[in-house]
Structure 1
Amino acid sequence: MQVYRVGGAVRDKLLGIESKDVDWVVTGSTPEEMISDGYRPIGKDFPVFLHPASRQEYALARTERKISRGYAGFSFNTDSGITIEQDLARRDLTINAIAQDEQGNIIDPFNGQQDVKDRVLRHVSDAFVEDPV
Protein backbone atom coordinates (compact mmCIF):
# COMPACT_ATOMS: atom_id res chain seq x y z
CA MET A 1 0.00 0.00 0.00
CA GLN A 2 1.34 3.42 -1.00
CA VAL A 3 -0.31 6.66 0.15
CA TYR A 4 -0.15 9.93 -1.78
CA ARG A 5 -1.26 13.49 -1.05
CA VAL A 6 -2.87 14.68 -4.28
CA GLY A 7 -4.51 17.57 -6.05
CA GLY A 8 -5.09 20.98 -4.56
CA ALA A 9 -3.12 20.31 -1.37
CA VAL A 10 0.04 19.64 -3.40
CA ARG A 11 -0.65 22.62 -5.67
CA ASP A 12 -1.21 24.89 -2.67
CA LYS A 13 2.02 23.69 -1.05
CA LEU A 14 3.90 24.59 -4.23
CA LEU A 15 2.32 28.07 -4.04
CA GLY A 16 3.23 28.44 -0.36
CA ILE A 17 -0.43 28.40 0.67
CA GLU A 18 -1.74 26.39 3.61
CA SER A 19 -4.39 23.98 2.35
CA LYS A 20 -7.27 23.11 4.63
CA ASP A 21 -8.55 20.34 2.36
CA VAL A 22 -6.13 17.45 1.83
CA ASP A 23 -6.97 14.65 -0.58
CA TRP A 24 -5.31 11.26 -0.17
CA VAL A 25 -5.08 8.46 -2.74
CA VAL A 26 -4.01 4.90 -1.99
CA THR A 27 -2.48 2.55 -4.56
CA GLY A 28 -1.76 -1.16 -4.22
CA SER A 29 -4.65 -1.93 -1.89
CA THR A 30 -8.15 -3.35 -1.99
CA PRO A 31 -11.27 -2.37 -0.06
CA GLU A 32 -10.88 -5.50 2.04
CA GLU A 33 -7.27 -4.61 2.93
CA MET A 34 -8.27 -1.06 3.83
CA ILE A 35 -10.98 -2.34 6.17
CA SER A 36 -8.55 -4.88 7.64
CA ASP A 37 -6.15 -1.99 8.39
CA GLY A 38 -8.87 -0.18 10.35
CA TYR A 39 -10.15 2.23 7.70
CA ARG A 40 -13.93 2.75 7.72
CA PRO A 41 -15.69 2.67 4.34
CA ILE A 42 -17.79 5.75 3.57
CA GLY A 43 -17.87 5.94 -0.23
CA LYS A 44 -21.05 5.08 -2.08
CA ASP A 45 -19.98 5.31 -5.73
CA PHE A 46 -16.32 4.30 -5.32
CA PRO A 47 -14.11 3.18 -2.41
CA VAL A 48 -13.43 6.05 -0.01
CA PHE A 49 -12.43 5.38 3.59
CA LEU A 50 -11.91 7.31 6.82
CA HIS A 51 -8.43 6.95 8.31
CA PRO A 52 -8.67 5.26 11.73
CA ALA A 53 -6.66 7.97 13.52
CA SER A 54 -6.87 11.21 11.53
CA ARG A 55 -10.44 10.71 10.26
CA GLN A 56 -9.34 12.12 6.89
CA GLU A 57 -10.70 10.62 3.68
CA TYR A 58 -8.54 8.21 1.70
CA ALA A 59 -9.69 7.08 -1.76
CA LEU A 60 -8.44 4.07 -3.66
CA ALA A 61 -6.72 5.03 -6.90
CA ARG A 62 -9.13 4.77 -9.79
CA THR A 63 -9.64 5.28 -13.47
CA GLU A 64 -12.86 6.58 -14.97
CA ARG A 65 -14.60 5.93 -18.23
CA LYS A 66 -17.49 8.02 -19.55
CA ILE A 67 -20.48 5.76 -20.22
CA SER A 68 -23.33 8.26 -20.56
CA ARG A 69 -24.12 11.96 -20.50
CA GLY A 70 -24.06 14.08 -17.40
CA TYR A 71 -22.09 14.33 -14.20
CA ALA A 72 -22.89 10.82 -12.96
CA GLY A 73 -22.34 8.97 -16.23
CA PHE A 74 -19.01 7.34 -15.34
CA SER A 75 -17.75 3.80 -14.82
CA PHE A 76 -14.98 3.41 -12.22
CA ASN A 77 -12.14 0.91 -11.98
CA THR A 78 -10.42 0.63 -8.59
CA ASP A 79 -8.22 -2.40 -9.24
CA SER A 80 -5.25 -2.56 -6.85
CA GLY A 81 -2.88 -2.42 -9.84
CA ILE A 82 -3.90 1.12 -10.82
CA THR A 83 -0.93 3.46 -10.58
CA ILE A 84 -0.86 6.97 -9.19
CA GLU A 85 -0.14 8.23 -12.71
CA GLN A 86 -3.32 6.57 -13.99
CA ASP A 87 -5.31 8.15 -11.16
CA LEU A 88 -3.83 11.59 -11.87
CA ALA A 89 -4.80 11.27 -15.56
CA ARG A 90 -8.50 11.51 -14.64
CA ARG A 91 -8.14 14.93 -13.05
CA ASP A 92 -9.26 18.21 -14.59
CA LEU A 93 -6.21 20.48 -14.69
CA THR A 94 -2.48 19.78 -14.74
CA ILE A 95 -2.03 21.87 -11.57
CA ASN A 96 -4.37 19.43 -9.80
CA ALA A 97 -2.76 16.32 -11.31
CA ILE A 98 0.26 16.33 -9.01
CA ALA A 99 0.93 13.87 -6.18
CA GLN A 100 3.39 13.67 -3.31
CA ASP A 101 4.41 10.35 -1.79
CA GLU A 102 5.14 9.69 1.89
CA GLN A 103 8.84 10.44 1.36
CA GLY A 104 8.05 13.87 -0.11
CA ASN A 105 8.78 12.94 -3.73
CA ILE A 106 6.64 14.75 -6.30
CA ILE A 107 4.90 12.76 -9.05
CA ASP A 108 4.00 15.13 -11.88
CA PRO A 109 3.32 13.32 -15.17
CA PHE A 110 1.59 16.32 -16.79
CA ASN A 111 4.07 19.11 -15.89
CA GLY A 112 1.71 20.72 -13.41
CA GLN A 113 4.58 22.17 -11.37
CA GLN A 114 5.69 24.22 -14.37
CA ASP A 115 2.10 25.33 -14.96
CA VAL A 116 1.89 26.44 -11.30
CA LYS A 117 5.09 28.48 -11.77
CA ASP A 118 3.85 29.92 -15.06
CA ARG A 119 0.33 30.48 -13.66
CA VAL A 120 -1.13 28.57 -16.61
CA LEU A 121 -4.32 26.51 -16.57
CA ARG A 122 -4.19 23.49 -18.88
CA HIS A 123 -6.50 20.51 -19.11
CA VAL A 124 -4.99 17.10 -18.45
CA SER A 125 -6.89 15.68 -21.41
CA ASP A 126 -9.47 16.64 -23.99
CA ALA A 127 -12.07 14.72 -21.98
CA PHE A 128 -12.55 17.71 -19.67
CA VAL A 129 -13.23 19.99 -22.61
CA GLU A 130 -15.76 17.49 -23.95
CA ASP A 131 -17.60 17.23 -20.60
CA PRO A 132 -16.66 20.14 -18.28
CA VAL A 133 -17.66 20.19 -14.63
Structure 2
Amino acid sequence: MLPRLRSVATGDDLAHFVGHLSAAATLAVSAVLVTGVFNADRGLGGSLVPLTHSDWGLILSAKLGLVGVAIILGGINRLVYLPRIRRGASHNSAASFLTILRAEAVVMIGILSAAAVLAHAVPGAHLGT
Protein backbone atom coordinates (compact mmCIF):
# COMPACT_ATOMS: atom_id res chain seq x y z
CA MET A 1 0.00 0.00 0.00
CA LEU A 2 2.70 2.49 0.96
CA PRO A 3 4.70 2.30 -2.30
CA ARG A 4 1.58 3.00 -4.30
CA LEU A 5 0.44 5.75 -1.94
CA ARG A 6 3.90 7.29 -2.02
CA SER A 7 3.83 7.44 -5.81
CA VAL A 8 0.36 8.99 -6.21
CA ALA A 9 -0.44 10.84 -2.97
CA THR A 10 0.39 14.38 -2.04
CA GLY A 11 2.79 15.00 0.83
CA ASP A 12 -0.08 15.85 3.17
CA ASP A 13 -1.97 12.65 2.33
CA LEU A 14 1.14 10.55 2.87
CA ALA A 15 1.90 12.29 6.18
CA HIS A 16 -1.70 11.79 7.30
CA PHE A 17 -1.69 8.08 6.42
CA VAL A 18 1.73 7.42 7.96
CA GLY A 19 0.72 9.31 11.12
CA HIS A 20 -2.39 7.18 11.53
CA LEU A 21 -0.42 4.01 10.81
CA SER A 22 2.09 4.95 13.51
CA ALA A 23 -0.62 5.77 16.06
CA ALA A 24 -2.42 2.49 15.40
CA ALA A 25 0.85 0.56 15.70
CA THR A 26 1.65 2.27 19.01
CA LEU A 27 -1.76 1.35 20.40
CA ALA A 28 -1.40 -2.24 19.20
CA VAL A 29 2.09 -2.60 20.69
CA SER A 30 0.83 -1.27 24.02
CA ALA A 31 -1.97 -3.83 24.14
CA VAL A 32 0.35 -6.66 23.10
CA LEU A 33 2.91 -5.69 25.76
CA VAL A 34 0.29 -5.69 28.53
CA THR A 35 -1.08 -9.10 27.56
CA GLY A 36 2.44 -10.43 26.94
CA VAL A 37 3.62 -9.46 30.42
CA PHE A 38 0.58 -11.17 31.94
CA ASN A 39 1.08 -14.37 29.92
CA ALA A 40 4.84 -14.45 30.56
CA ASP A 41 4.31 -14.05 34.29
CA ARG A 42 1.78 -16.86 34.27
CA GLY A 43 4.05 -19.12 32.22
CA LEU A 44 7.08 -18.35 34.38
CA GLY A 45 5.18 -18.91 37.62
CA GLY A 46 6.43 -15.64 39.07
CA SER A 47 10.10 -16.69 38.78
CA LEU A 48 12.74 -15.83 36.19
CA VAL A 49 14.48 -19.21 36.63
CA PRO A 50 12.48 -20.90 33.81
CA LEU A 51 13.83 -18.31 31.35
CA THR A 52 17.21 -20.04 31.33
CA HIS A 53 16.30 -23.53 32.51
CA SER A 54 13.61 -24.54 30.04
CA ASP A 55 13.10 -24.63 26.29
CA TRP A 56 9.93 -22.59 26.82
CA GLY A 57 11.93 -19.90 28.61
CA LEU A 58 14.59 -19.80 25.91
CA ILE A 59 11.95 -19.41 23.20
CA LEU A 60 10.29 -16.67 25.26
CA SER A 61 13.67 -14.95 25.60
CA ALA A 62 14.17 -15.09 21.84
CA LYS A 63 10.67 -13.70 21.31
CA LEU A 64 11.38 -10.87 23.75
CA GLY A 65 14.56 -10.06 21.84
CA LEU A 66 12.61 -9.89 18.60
CA VAL A 67 9.97 -7.70 20.25
CA GLY A 68 12.76 -5.38 21.35
CA VAL A 69 14.06 -5.17 17.77
CA ALA A 70 10.54 -4.44 16.48
CA ILE A 71 10.08 -1.69 19.07
CA ILE A 72 13.42 -0.11 18.14
CA LEU A 73 12.56 -0.19 14.44
CA GLY A 74 9.13 1.28 15.12
CA GLY A 75 10.68 3.94 17.33
CA ILE A 76 13.09 4.94 14.57
CA ASN A 77 10.20 5.31 12.16
CA ARG A 78 8.09 7.25 14.65
CA LEU A 79 10.81 9.52 16.00
CA VAL A 80 13.01 10.03 12.93
CA TYR A 81 11.14 9.47 9.68
CA LEU A 82 7.55 10.39 10.62
CA PRO A 83 8.53 13.96 11.57
CA ARG A 84 10.51 14.29 8.33
CA ILE A 85 7.54 13.08 6.29
CA ARG A 86 5.26 15.53 8.12
CA ARG A 87 7.67 18.37 7.32
CA GLY A 88 7.43 17.43 3.68
CA ALA A 89 10.99 16.18 3.44
CA SER A 90 12.15 14.37 0.33
CA HIS A 91 10.83 11.04 -0.86
CA ASN A 92 13.96 9.51 0.68
CA SER A 93 12.30 9.79 4.10
CA ALA A 94 9.24 7.96 2.85
CA ALA A 95 11.44 5.33 1.24
CA SER A 96 13.39 4.88 4.48
CA PHE A 97 10.13 4.65 6.44
CA LEU A 98 8.95 1.93 4.07
CA THR A 99 12.23 0.01 4.28
CA ILE A 100 12.09 -0.02 8.07
CA LEU A 101 8.41 -1.00 7.95
CA ARG A 102 9.34 -3.98 5.79
CA ALA A 103 12.09 -4.96 8.23
CA GLU A 104 9.52 -4.76 11.05
CA ALA A 105 7.26 -7.10 9.09
CA VAL A 106 10.06 -9.66 8.82
CA VAL A 107 10.74 -9.39 12.55
CA MET A 108 7.01 -9.79 13.24
CA ILE A 109 7.03 -13.09 11.34
CA GLY A 110 9.68 -14.26 13.79
CA ILE A 111 7.64 -13.02 16.74
CA LEU A 112 4.49 -14.76 15.51
CA SER A 113 6.46 -17.96 14.90
CA ALA A 114 7.85 -17.88 18.43
CA ALA A 115 4.35 -17.22 19.80
CA ALA A 116 3.02 -20.24 17.91
CA VAL A 117 5.74 -22.46 19.35
CA LEU A 118 5.11 -21.10 22.85
CA ALA A 119 1.39 -21.76 22.54
CA HIS A 120 2.08 -25.46 21.99
CA ALA A 121 4.86 -25.87 24.54
CA VAL A 122 4.68 -26.63 28.23
CA PRO A 123 5.30 -23.39 30.15
CA GLY A 124 8.60 -23.31 31.99
CA ALA A 125 6.95 -23.00 35.40
CA HIS A 126 5.14 -26.33 34.89
CA LEU A 127 8.11 -28.49 33.91
CA GLY A 128 8.98 -29.48 37.47
CA THR A 129 5.45 -30.57 38.38
Superposition TM-score, scaled by structure 1 size: 0.25
Larger radius of gyration: 2
More strand by share: 1
The structure with higher relative contact order (CA 8 Å, sep 6+) is: 2
